[in-house]
Amino acid sequence: MIVLALMGSAIAMWGYRSCARDSYYYGSTTQPYSGGGHGTGTRYHSYGHTSWWHSGSSSSSYGSGSSHSSGVSRGGFGSSGHAASS
28 touches another protein by CB under 8 A: no
Question: 54 with 15: CB under 8 angstroms?
Answer: yes
37 touches another protein by CB under 8 A: yes
3-class secondary-structure state, position 22: helix
57 touches another protein by CB under 8 A: yes
Tell me how far CA of residue 46 lies from CA of 19, 21, 50, 82, in angstroms: 10, 6, 10, 32
21 touches another protein by CB under 8 A: no
The residues of the shown chain that bind another protein, judged by CB under 8 A, are: 3-4, 6-7, 10-11, 13-14, 17, 26, 32-33, 35, 37-40, 42-50, 52, 57-58, 60-63, 65-69, 71-80, 82-86
